[in-house]
Amino acid sequence: MHADITLAVDGEEHALRVDTRTTLLDALREHLGATAPKKGCDHGQCGACTVLLDGRRALACLILAVAGDSCQVTTAAGLADGDTLHPLQQAFIDHDGFQCGYCTPGQLCSAAGMLQEAAQGWPSAATTDLTAPPVLDDTEIRERMSGNLCRCGAYPGIVAAISTAAPHTGVPEGSR
Amino acid sequence: MIPFDYQRAQTPAAAAAAVAAHPRAAFLGGGTNLVDRMKLGVATPELLVDITHLDLDRIEELPDGTVRIGANVRNSDLAAHPLIRHRYPALSQALLSGASGQLRNTATTGGNLLQRTRCVYFQDTTTPCNKREPGSGCSALEGYTRYHALLGASEHCVATHPSDMAVAMSALDAVVTVQSPHGRRRIPLAELHRLPGDHPEHDTVLDHGDLITAVELPPSAMAARSRYRKVRDRASYAFALVSAAVALDLDGDHISDLRIALGGLAHKPWRALRAEEELRGGPATQEHFRAAAQAELAAARPLKGNAFKTDLARTTLASTLSDLAAPGPRHEEQR
């Protein structure tokens, strides 16, 4: 059973026909050749497939492509502005935020989405006062990034990279 | 996954009718649990009725102060909403303690209530499970039971309900509104989920085709002094071993009213009515908190792998009560 859908991936419109069983992750990787999102566990537990779906971070492995019809998808490859790296990408390089790199595209999209959430004043489980704007310290970053696993254990570098890049991603001062 | 048809519903009534008309149809919300179960072969729908485009994504305050949460409101939006953070902090805390940022952005309010147990045997189609395949037996009884029930279980099923959100909603006297093919009805959230008994295949009292359209939180002064505490194997991104949602109304150092619900212990959010009764009208002291927790857990029937949870539940409940009763910054702020 098939469906005709459109997806805008990193700014480019695509029309494609998918089996209804196809996940957004498989549509991106297998149909469109967008291989920045990675397949780790394929069960929503590792975060390697994280993309920005209509601007919000989401797991592409648990979303059916047919349900994502007409959505805007940003992958880690689309974060950069041409050859100019996104501040998070540059910070991951500067702070050794990866070793093998497999989880990195998911980490980057997750961090980009997370910084937007913090900028909107969203609390996390690490926020002690739910009524005040969150302060994005290392504890907050770790909690907010807990859905992205790194088997190389590059967490200290990842936290440092996100902390360093946060001021350069358009996140207002008050929420840092 | 087996092949399935997909359609987008136009109205709640049409969605309910479409699912009711097909015995192997299912509603698709965020899909974070359903799609996973389809991959595992645990769920095998032949028709998915996508409800995420229905106009059920608002959080609104009604004239009487009730806060109505549309069934499609995403978990992250609900947790961050000012009305919830200020008036029902236990609900924000419960939502934020569940899953990950990515999952909370996708998972819906209705879907969170209807997610199914993460019992490892339920999710493994190579093992017997009465919930997945009635009459096949329960593998957990002689197996891995760290996350399994202490209270209200049966010889047929010892699974727990995995939701944090539902535990907080149960303590906040939430009411669920349901669209069925025949009309609408309201169900107190505490009566939505059921104990396994002889039919663990039924998680809730809903019939096939019943669509949850909203959750309503009644106005409650007590809810502003509420808290959700979750104990788990990792600091983040893990299901509860034990959790407690407590709302407390103090008159001086006496408890005038309270609500308690416990998570990780039963087939449904466990309203601790016994402990509430012990504490209502009495002094807010450590001694009473411990005695009430003891009384609630007296009915615990531990299994080999989860006996530690009896003590853990007692201390979690007693400490949540005493944190909430203690004068402190939170307490001062609310005066």
**Whether A56 and A97 share a structural domain:** no
Model confidence at A46: pLDDT above 80: yes
Q: Which amino acid is at A4?
A: D
> What values do phi and psi take at B18, rounded to 5?
-65, -40
**A19–B contact, CB cutoff 8 A:** yes
Q: Hey, are the CB atoms on B85 and A57 less than 8 Å from each other?
A: no
Q: Which of A78, A110, A143 is the last residue of a domain?
A: A78
**Whether A170 and A137 share a structural domain:** yes
* Euclidean distance between CA atoms B185 and A3, whole angstroms: 35
Model confidence at A176: pLDDT above 60: no
What pLDDT was estimated at residue A170? 63
**Whether A104 and A171 share a structural domain:** yes
Note whether B251 and B225 are within 8 A (CB): no
CB-defined contacts A:B, below 8 A = 108
What pLDDT was estimated at residue A135? 94
Domain count, chain A: 2
* Euclidean distance between CA atoms B193 and B114, whole angstroms: 9
pLDDT < 70 regions, chain B = 327-335
What pLDDT was estimated at residue A174? 45
- Going from the C-alpha of B62 to that of each of A120, B225, B310, the distances in angstroms are 25, 21, 40
* Euclidean distance between CA atoms B93 and B98, whole angstroms: 9
Q: Hey, are the CB atoms on B52 and A67 less than 8 Å from each other?
A: yes
What pLDDT was estimated at residue B152? 98
Confidence grade of residue A175 (pLDDT, cut at 50, 70, 90) = very low
Q: Hey, are the CB atoms on B106 and A21 less than 8 Å from each other?
A: no
What pLDDT was estimated at residue B175? 98
Q: Hey, are the CB atoms on B101 and A125 less than 8 Å from each other?
A: no
Confidence grade of residue A172 (pLDDT, cut at 50, 70, 90) = very low
**B35–A contact, CB cutoff 8 A:** yes
Q: Hey, are the CB atoms on A23 and B35 less than 8 Å from each other?
A: yes
Q: Which of A53, A78, A103 is the last residue of a domain?
A: A78
What pLDDT was estimated at residue A169? 81
**Whether A101 and A161 share a structural domain:** yes
Q: Which amino acid is at B75?
A: N
How do strand B47-50 and strand B5-8 relate by DSSP bridges? parallel
**Whether A141 and A113 share a structural domain:** yes
Eight-class DSSP state of A140 = H
**Whether A73 and A125 share a structural domain:** no
For range A3-11, the mean pLDDT: 98
**B188–A contact, CB cutoff 8 A:** no
pLDDT tens per residue, range B41-51: 999 999 999 99
**Whether A93 and A142 share a structural domain:** yes
Q: Hey, are the CB atoms on B32 and A44 less than 8 Å from each other?
A: yes
pLDDT tens per residue, range A99-151: 999 999 999 999 999 999 999 999 999 999 999 999 999 999 999 999 999 99
Q: Hey, are the CB atoms on B31 and A20 less than 8 Å from each other?
A: no
Provide the domain limits for residue A34: 2-78
What pLDDT was estimated at residue A168? 84
Instruction: Give the best residue of B35, B53, B102, B332 to mutate against chain A (max A CB count within 10 A).
Output: B102
Which residues make Cβ contacts (< 8 Å) with residue A26, sequence separation at least 6? A65
Identify the sign of the CA torsion B190, B192, B198, B201.
negative
Q: Which helix (H) or strand (E) holds A142?
A: helix A138-144
**Whether A36 and A104 share a structural domain:** no
**Whether A92 and A171 share a structural domain:** yes
* Euclidean distance between CA atoms B280 and A25, whole angstroms: 52
C-beta neighbour count of A17 within 10 angstroms: 10
Rounded-to-10 torsion of CA A85, A90, A91, A97: 110
Q: For residue A34, what is the domain's CATH number?
A: 3.10.20.30
Q: Which of A23, A47, A78 is the last residue of a domain?
A: A78
Instruction: Give the best residue of A21, A127, A139 to mutate against chain B (max B CB count within 10 A).
Output: A21
Rounded to the nearest angstrom, the minimum Cα separation between B156 and chain A is 28
Note whether A68 and A7 are within 8 A (CB): yes
For range A80-103, the mean pLDDT: 97
Note whether A33 and B16 are within 8 A (CB): no
Give all domains of chain B, ordered by start, each with its CATH number.
228-260+270-333 (3.30.390.50)
* Euclidean distance between CA atoms A47 and B158, whole angstroms: 30
**Whether A99 and A49 share a structural domain:** no
Q: For residue A105, what is the domain's CATH number?
A: 1.10.150.120
The number of helices, as runs of H, and strands, as runs of E, in chain B is 12, 12
**Minimum-distance CB partner of A146 among B3, B5, B100:** B100
**Whether A39 and A103 share a structural domain:** no
**Whether A72 and A7 share a structural domain:** yes
**A133–B contact, CB cutoff 8 A:** no
What pLDDT was estimated at residue B311? 98
What pLDDT was estimated at residue B333? 40
